[in-house]
Amino acid sequence: MKLTYYGTGAGEGWPGLFCNCELCNEARKLKGKNIRTRSQAMVNDDLLIDLTPDTNMHSLVYGMDLSKINHLLVTHSHSDHFNPPDLELLRDPFAHNRPEVFHIYGNRRVKERIWDDVPDVMKVADRFTFHDAKPFQPVVMKDYVVVPLKALHDKREECLIYLITQGNKSILYAHDTGAFPDETIEYLKSSKVHLDLVSLDCTTQSSEDGKNHMGLVDAVKERKRLTDLGLGDDTTVWVVNHFSHNGLWLHDKMVEEADKYGFLVSYDTMTIEI
């Protein structure tokens, strides 16, 4: 099983589109792993997580291929994770040779945004099926079992993180979230899953949060909660991801700090095999 990170920045991207701060200017100059587009990831080559406004760029520049993708998990409706107008492109004459319908899993707000924000939504309605992703209710898709779990994020909607299992391997993809809600921890505990890859939010990098996002210290705390329960261990790959310029650490500094705690630091196009 593998996970590829296509977008590893927070909502504004890095450099922020209109930002003139020192860290954004530095990223513009240094480029490389300091350039972070907005959130998107792919499990193997057939399960997409989030539909960022940078999706087309990921296809053009990073080589992400959506021509045969039919399954999309959406974490929540924030604009860096979900850009419904692109769904218009699923239909003829914009997309040819797509016999299968496109399956979208998300919360109620995601569903509303599809109906509000996809131009000519009725023309594309037969090309996709929307599935309500409900916390703690496992869904089987292809050869995956996916469990939406509760995040601690925007209270106006039911933000989700995802537990994705294929065979005997499991990934916990946890963006955007603060400290895991107790219900989520309880579910993981009762499932007795062994987490092979855990991708933790690290939006605020150098500063503590835990209420809406995580900084590195919060990620360390959440890892401890998981390892104390035996859900993860030394064989687990621990990754921090989703970074903002307001966290103040460009890529190399982020790596230096994360290294102290044994976390890998994501960058756009990073692939991890478990």
Stretch that binds Zn ion, among 40-48, 71-79, 96-104, 131-139 (CB under 5 A): 71-79
**Separation between Cα atoms, residue 184 and residue 190, nearest integer Å:** 10
Q: Is there binding between residue 209 and Zn ion (CB under 5 A)? A: no
SS3 assignment, position 50: coil
Between 19 and 57, CB nearer to Zn ion? 19
**Separation between Cα atoms, residue 142 and residue 53, nearest integer Å:** 26
Q: Is there binding between residue 176 and Zn ion (CB under 5 A)? A: yes
One DSSP character per residue, 147-162 reads: EEEE-SS-TTS--EEE
Between 80 and 158, CB nearer to Zn ion? 80
Q: Is there binding between residue 50 and Zn ion (CB under 5 A)? A: no
Stretch that binds Zn ion, among 76-84, 89-97, 190-198, 252-260 (CB under 5 A): 76-84
Question: String of b and e for 20-47 (b: at least 16 CB within 10 Å)?
Answer: eeebbeebeeeeebbbbbbbbbbbeeeb
Between 82 and 187, CB nearer to Zn ion? 82
At closest approach, how far in Å is the CB of 131 from Zn ion? Answer: 21
User: Checking phi first, is residue 56 left (phi over 0); if not, alpha (psi -120 to 50) or beta?
Assistant: alpha
Between 80 and 222, CB nearer to Zn ion? 80
Q: Is there binding between residue 21 and Zn ion (CB under 5 A)? A: yes
User: Dihedrals φ, ψ of 127, to 5°?
Assistant: -95, -10
Binding test (CB under 5 A) with Zn ion, winner from 58, 111, 113, 245:
245
DSSP-derived pairing of the beta strands 139-141 and 128-132 = unpaired
The beta-strand segments (E) located in 167-258 are 169-174, 197-201, 237-241
Amino acid at 90: L
Q: Is there binding between residue 24 and Zn ion (CB under 5 A)? A: yes
Between 24 and 240, CB nearer to Zn ion? 24
Amino acid at 24: C
Q: Is there binding between residue 78 and Zn ion (CB under 5 A)? A: yes
Q: Is there binding between residue 215 and Zn ion (CB under 5 A)? A: no
Q: Is there binding between residue 13 and Zn ion (CB under 5 A)? A: no
At closest approach, how far in Å is the CB of 37 from Zn ion? Answer: 12
At closest approach, how far in Å is the CB of 160 from Zn ion? Answer: 11
Between 7 and 127, CB nearer to Zn ion? 7
Q: Is there binding between residue 30 and Zn ion (CB under 5 A)? A: no
In Å, how far are 16, 53, 81 from 50, measured between CA atoms? 20, 10, 5
One DSSP character per residue, 92-150 reads: TTTS-S--SPEEEEE-HHHHHHHHHHSTTHHHHGGGEEEEE--TT--EEETTEEEEEEE
Binding test (CB under 5 A) with Zn ion, winner from 50, 54, 80, 196:
80
| Number of residues located near Zn ion, criterion CB under 5 A | 8
Between 39 and 236, CB nearer to Zn ion? 39
Contact residues for Zn ion, defined by CB under 5 A: 16, 19, 21, 24, 78, 80, 176, 245
